[in-house]
Amino acid sequence: MTASATGTATRICLHAPAPGWSIDADVVVVGSGVAGLTAALRCTAAGLRTVVVTKARLDDGSTRWAQGGIAAALGEGDTPQQHLDDTLVAGAGLCDESAVRALVTEGPDAVRRLIATGAHFDTSSTGDLQLTREGGHHRRRIVHAGGDATGAEVSRALVEAVRAAAVRTIEDALVLDLLTDAQGRTAGVTLHVMGEGQHDGVGAVRAPAVVLATGGMGQVFSATTNPSVATGDGVALALRAGAEVSDLEFVQFHPTVLFLGPGAAGQQPLISEAVRGEGAHLVDARGTRFMLGRHELAELAPRDIVAKAITRQMQLDGTDHMYLDARHFGAAMWETRFPAILAVCRSHGIDPVTEPIPVFPAAHHASGGVRTDLRGRTTVPGLYACGEVACSGVHGANRLASNSL
């Protein structure tokens, strides 16, 4: 189906009506997680008319649910090369080393930019960043905020910065399809605004550049850590536009998700890998640590290895969950280091201070997505992708913990 737009042919979704209204921009950013809002701020700072479109509210994406933190070689004795080595091992030989090198060398400055933007990370009494350790890491290199509320703090800072910069935003809007001109170049997006505001119904934002930052696809699975907005629509849009995708089969399951019963579905509470990084143990119903001897890092092995081990042990024992035991932390540590997780567990009738936490693996992160180069360019001219919707080659077959934010 084609429609006329400013003198050139544009392609829109087969099932979508023609746009009833349109606005013009230089860049459309689709999504409002850390990737999308960072892209919007950088584009705005470069003088580009930028519009952010999100199908919920600005802070409703996956970012605010991230607990553990951000991986960057900021600690004493740590180096980008060591971070690269850990990432390549976790990726099971399928990472693009040039992409990983970009991540690990630019990561520390990216954290500093977040701090300059207004994000407040946990610090020691001397003012140094507190660092923790997670699965697959041989160093303590995870920066965190609010104990276990890193994503919420990063989201808060970026949303405030976007509003302070007066970036135009359209919330409660589902992007339907990519607009292209007669030469096949990006010309904007069609969208359906579902809320009440300046625009409603089907419209268009016309721009020569579109940045997909729509996050993951966890809601495809019956149990996931992803919020309800993570439905894979960015990948679907890219496919309809003719963009190449890669590694969609590599969906990472997080090993330790709070088990709420055999009938639980949809978004499930995450028990951050940082809990294991601080010394929690995975045990079976008898209290036996089953990761010992399975990997040199035991509970801190890469996520795919831990998730497989838990699944294997569940099959051997004929049960639907294992346990994470952190009773030795004591009440004070739980209350200061992991207050959000403590509150979530207690809201479901589980007290980690006095009993092990029932856990099981659930869908968590899409390592594949829309194929991009190191500048976020897809195979469709003018269409870019970043964050979880993109496949730059960083994650390979399995994302290293905290390499996402």
Does the active-site annotation cover 399? Answer: no
pLDDT number for residue 197: 62
For the chain, counts of helices (H) and of strands (E): 9, 23
Give residue 198's pLDDT band: very low, low, confident or very high (50, 70, 90).
low
Of 141, 156, 303, 371, the catalytic one is 303
Say how far apart CA 37 and CA 7 lie, in whole Å.
32
- Give yes or no for residue 1 having a pLDDT over 70: no
Domain 1-250+367-405 sits in which CATH superfamily? Answer: FAD/NAD(P)-binding domain (3.50.50.60)
pLDDT number for residue 17: 54
Q: Which residues contact 109 (CB under 8 A, 6 or more apart)?
A: none
Say how far apart CA 275 and CA 252 lie, in whole Å.
19
> Which tens digit of pLDDT belongs to each residue from 303-344?
999 999 999 999 999 999 999 999 999 999 999 999 999 999
pLDDT number for residue 195: 67
User: 285: which 2 tokens?
Assistant: 């119903």
Question: With pLDDT > 90 as the criterion, what percentage of the chain qualifies?
Answer: 87
pLDDT number for residue 18: 63
> Which tens digit of pLDDT belongs to each residue from 243-296?
999 999 999 999 999 999 998 999 999 999 999 999 999 999 999 999 999 999
- Asked if domains 1-250+367-405 and 252-363 share a fold, the reply is no
Predicted TM-score (pTM) of the model is 0.90
Q: What is the DSSP string of 260-282?
A: --TT--EE--B--HHHHHTT-EE
Question: Could you tell me which of 302, 221, 330, 226 has the C-alpha nearest to residue 270?
Answer: 226
Domain residue ranges of the chain, discontinuous segments joined by +: 1-250+367-405, 252-363
Question: Could you tell me which of 154, 89, 108 has the C-alpha nearest to residue 401?
Answer: 89
- Give yes or no for residue 153 having a pLDDT over 90: yes
> Which tens digit of pLDDT belongs to each residue from 68-78?
899 999 999 99
Question: With pLDDT > 70 as the criterion, what percentage of the chain qualifies?
Answer: 94
- Give yes or no for residue 63 having a pLDDT over 90: no
> Which tens digit of pLDDT belongs to each residue from 10-44?
343 444 456 788 999 999 999 999 999 999 999 99
Mean pLDDT of 180-202: 86
pLDDT number for residue 67: 82
User: 171: which 2 tokens?
Assistant: 């919330």
- Give yes or no for residue 177 having a pLDDT over 60: yes
pLDDT number for residue 60: 80
> Which tens digit of pLDDT belongs to each residue from 88-143?
999 999 999 999 999 999 999 999 999 999 999 999 999 999 999 998 999 999 99
Mean pLDDT of 64-85: 93
Q: What is the CATH number of domain 252-363?
A: 3.90.700.10
φ, ψ dihedrals at 102, nearest 5°: -60, -45
Give residue 179's pLDDT band: very low, low, confident or very high (50, 70, 90).
very high
- Give yes or no for residue 168 having a pLDDT over 90: yes
First to last CA, the chain: 38
Q: What is the DSSP string of 92-118?
A: TT-S-HHHHHHHHHHHHHHHHHHHHHT
Question: Could you tell me which of 63, 56, 62 has the C-alpha nearest to residue 150?
Answer: 63
Residue with tokens 């019956």: 222
Lowest mean pLDDT among 80-94, 193-207, 372-386: 193-207
